[in-house]
Amino acid sequence: MKFKKTMLASLFALASLTLAGAAHADITVGVVQPLTGPASGLGIPVKNAIMIWPKTVAGQNIKLVVLDDASDPTAGVKAAQRLVTEDKVDLIVGSSATPVAIPMADVTAEAATPQLATSPAALPPGKDKWFFRLPQSNNVMAYAVAQHMKKQGVKTIGFLGYTDAYGELWLKAITEEAAKNGFKIVATERFARADTSVTAQALKLTSANPDAILIVASGSGAGMPQKAIMERGFKGKVYQTHAAATPDLMRTAGKDAEGAFVVSGPAMLGAQLPDSNPSKKASLAFLEDYAKAYGANTANQFAGHGADAYTLLEKAVPVALKKAQPGTPEFRAALRDAFEGMGRTVISHGVLDWTAQDHWGYTNETGVMMQVVDGKFKVVQ
């Protein structure tokens, strides 16, 4: 009898230890970002922001596995495959390069693993069950651009954008807004991310003499077409998308960036935001934390997406833990469901409200228009 009692006590103790271990299981987050290549100016700040996350969320340790997609879709897919098969991650954050994030979605969907894309990647209807976007949709930002153009009296537009998915989706979005607002697109030119010159395209666009030119590029890649347009003597207005809302625009375009209008989420604007903006507090906190870790004026909007991802985990993980433990298919499904059901959530980039029908979540009030003034971004009132 004494032996049985001892055995039962040992088994009970072992079970208690097992449950305690399960209750404090690591939440494994895979991070796939362009840390090298043309989009590295986007991916490195995301990675940097993630590296200063708190070490725990909802009492669970966070284990990070960071991989470089090298701005290449094939590398991104391989990285995602490794994360879901070998590391058994609970979540993937990435990529900041749209052409990489899209094929990664096939991997995460097949593995039933939530993916927080840090690029405004569009998928065919019904294909984004496991795919959520941290950036605003191109449609939401195109709305903000079109409204500003309308106030500026713009009637004709020239388009100069990437040949890839990001460029084409923006062309579609601005074409729809042009139709709604009575604008006419008078010239359309494209270039590849790896191109080192757009002189020919800039000549064609400036010859068309539109009231405004919209440049669709990202990070340091946005500076080269900006310079090319201004060096051709263009006197109209130049607009850039939210992928260009980084200090790289001014660094690469120099004085030719002066006066450019750039649409953005509120993350980078901090003290410039009115007190009525719901994201002002989150924006200020993000900028302060990033500056403390990496130096003043080093953040960009992509870093904001990295910070926002943790805010979303803070809200979703406690809900998911009620259903399952990290490291299991059940937890991954519960985390996905928690994202969909978390309701109104204020982050540095705006107010997000994902639903089963909408994994973008932002509204048309999201976009904030900035202008480059004296080499810095200033909110346009």
* Three-class HEC string of 284-303: HHHHHHHHHHHCCCCCCHHH
State whether 101 and 120 are in the same domain: yes
Instruction: Provide the pLDDT confidence category of residue 247 given band limits of 50, 70 and 90.
Output: confident
pLDDT tens digits, one per residue of 267-315: 989 999 988 888 999 999 999 999 999 999 899 889 999 999 999 999 9
Q: What is the pLDDT of residues 164-180, one digit of tens each?
A: 989 999 999 999 999 99
Q: What is the CATH number of the domain that holds 28?
A: 3.40.50.2300
Verify that 80 and 103 share a domain, yes or no. yes
Claim to verify: residue 131 and residue 146 sit in the same structural domain: no
Rounded average pLDDT over 226-247: 95
d(CA 143, CA 331): 37
Q: Cβ distance 208 to 157 under 8 Å?
A: no
Mean confidence (pLDDT) of the chain? 92
171 and 74 in a common domain: no
Residue 241 maps to a domain: yes
Are 146 and 260 in a shared domain?
Answer: yes
Cβ proximity of 245 and 223 under 8 Å = no
Same domain assignment for residues 143 and 257: yes
Q: Is residue 368 part of a domain?
A: no
Q: 354's torsion region: left (phi>0), alpha (psi -120 to 50) or beta?
A: beta
Q: What is the model's pTM? A: 0.79
B/e letters for 213-236, b = 16+ CB within 10 Å, e = fewer, are: bbbbbbbbbbbbbbbbbbeeebeb
Q: Is residue 177 part of a domain?
A: yes
What 3-state DSSP class applies to 275?
A: coil
234 shares its domain with 258? yes
pLDDT band at residue 246, thresholds of 50, 70 and 90? Answer: confident
User: Residue 122: which pLDDT band, with cuts at 50, 70 and 90?
Assistant: confident
Cα-based distances in Å from 65 to 84, 135, 265:
11, 22, 28
Percent of the chain with pLDDT over 90: 82
Residue 8 inside a domain? The answer is: no
The pLDDT confidence band at residue 137, using thresholds 50, 70 and 90, is confident
Please give the tally of structural domains in the chain: 2
- Domain hosting 227: range is 138-264
Predicted local confidence at residue 2, as pLDDT: 46
Answer whether residue 310 is part of any domain: yes
Is residue 145 domain-shared with residue 97, that is, in the same domain? no
pLDDT in tens, 62-120: 999 999 999 999 999 999 999 999 999 999 999 999 999 999 999 999 999 999 999 98
**Is the predicted pLDDT of residue 9 greater than 70, yes or no?**
no
Quick check: 273 and 279 in contact, CB under 8 A? yes
Give pLDDT, residue 24.
Answer: 61
* Residue 157 pLDDT > 90: yes
The yes-or-no verdict on residue 251 having pLDDT over 90 is: yes
Shared domain check, 168 and 132: no
Residue 149 has pLDDT above 90, yes or no: yes
Rounded alpha-carbon distances, angstroms, from residue 206 to 43, 214, 224, 236: 32, 12, 15, 9
Would the CA dihedral through 30, 36, 39, 40 be positive or negative? positive
Instruction: Check: CB of residue 245 under 8 Å from CB of residue 301.
Output: yes
> Which pLDDT belongs to residue 191?
97
More confident residue, 88 or 243: 88
Say if residue 117 is in the same domain as residue 156: no
Q: How does residue 222 score in pLDDT terms, banded at 50, 70 and 90? A: very high
Q: Which two tokens stand for residue 139?
A: 């449609």
Q: List, for residues 22-41, the tens digit of each pLDDT value.
A: 456 899 999 999 999 989 99
Same domain? 153 vs 203: yes
Q: Is 361 among the domain residues?
A: no
Task: Look at residue 12 and tell me if it is in a domain.
Answer: no
On whether both 253 and 157 belong to a single domain, the answer is: yes
pLDDT of residue 361: 92
pLDDT beyond 60 at 341: yes
Q: Is 364 part of a structural domain of the chain?
A: no
